[in-house]
Amino acid sequence: MDARLAFEVASTLCLHVTVVIAVAFMLQHWINDARWGCRLWTTCFISVIGLVAGALLLPHRRLFHFPIDMSRESLLSVAVWQSRIIAALAIIWVTGVAVSILRRCSLCVHLLRFLKLECYPLETASLLSQVGISAADYPTLSILTSKRIQGPFCWQLHRPLIVLPEFLVEDRNNDNTMLQHVLLHELEHLRTQHPIQHFLQGICSTLLWFHPLVWSAARDAGLTREYLCDEVAAKTAGKFGAYLRTLADVAERCGTVSCTEVSKSTLAFGNQPSALIRRSNRLVQLAEGDPPASGLRSIVAVSVLVLCAIAIQQVWLPTNAMASQRSRWSPWPTWTANALHQFDVNVRDFESFEDRVQMHELLYQDD
């Protein structure tokens, strides 16, 4: 992939990702359903990964040609500047991805050490039966406990596990309500494969670490996952009020943040209600019997998102001033072409040759 093709891919990929995530946001508000909201975000993250893979490995449509007719000097200067910009951006992007991967690896090691050294296992079947959950439905589940945490969490690499703070298990005083709520919430995370969605979200956040909409999508997907698990846990336990008390108790254990008041009249960043308040409001709405969105609307939303991803993949920014005017397709990226050549599949990848010829003509044009 030469510098100008890389510029074309990078700039257009940012546009594709922006459109797909923006559409996912709109559809999610439209369906107003936590379970389908989670599915929508999973579809969105898979679409984003697909768009990135397609852009790097496959040729793409060129429906539009470079819009401006330029002089030889201007063309040369655009080509040179594009090469410089893409080289600088590539260095920044690779650095960001490397830092993100290293950080995740380091956190993974830290987490594994924490699980090994700071947690001890509990009798899963007995604990589940104490809160009225059938252990047979979760044969591979491990439940651990630790003094070092105040909030529970779940994780899955090869086996699902739930880690509970010690106070949840020890300070029960013959009342299992809080423990039941927490376990129902975490089990719903595992049952609905949220760790996989979380992993896909991690891939998107690593590859597109610079993109603000990806951060927003990650936040919103996280909140939607919590909405779903809150809803299932509260409905299964049967009392929304009691579940909200559990949330407040766990939050109280987790501590407080700055109590600096932001003027409510401004539209400042951070002036949105916190995730906890939004979750609480939603549970109150559900308790008061808000009608759920129709299933048909949800299916339409997921279909629309997939179609939107396919449609936007056809639209590429005409940034390449030296792209061939005779073809509606870009050449194959060199690495894919080389791989296909190994299997005697001949594909068009003469951009590197064209590039050398065109640059030569620009630099040494006969007068």
Residues that bind another protein (CB under 8 A): 103-104, 106-108, 110-111, 114, 117-118, 120, 148, 150-155, 163, 182, 185-186, 189, 194-195, 198, 202, 222-223, 225-226, 239-242, 244-245, 247-248, 250-261, 274-277, 280-281, 283-284, 287-288
Nearer to another protein, 174 or 263 (CB): 263
In a 3-state reduction of DSSP, which class is residue 314? coil
Give the other-Cβ count within 10 Å of 125's Cβ. 16
CB 282 within 8 Å of CB 227: yes
Nearest to 103 by CA among 198, 206, 200: 206
Nearest to 156 by CA among 138, 132, 131: 138
At 158, give phi and psi (nearest 5°): -110, -30
Rounded CA-CA distance 198/221 in Å is 9
| Shortest Å, Cβ 138 to another protein | 16
| Shortest Å, Cβ 365 to another protein | 54
CA dihedral of 114, 116, 117, 122, whole degrees rounded to 10: 100
Nearer to another protein, 186 or 349 (CB): 186
| Shortest Å, Cβ 76 to another protein | 45
Rounded CA-CA distance 197/185 in Å is 16
| Shortest Å, Cβ 275 to another protein | 5
Nearer to another protein, 257 or 267 (CB): 257
Nearer to another protein, 148 or 341 (CB): 148
| Shortest Å, Cβ 351 to another protein | 39
Nearer to another protein, 151 or 318 (CB): 151
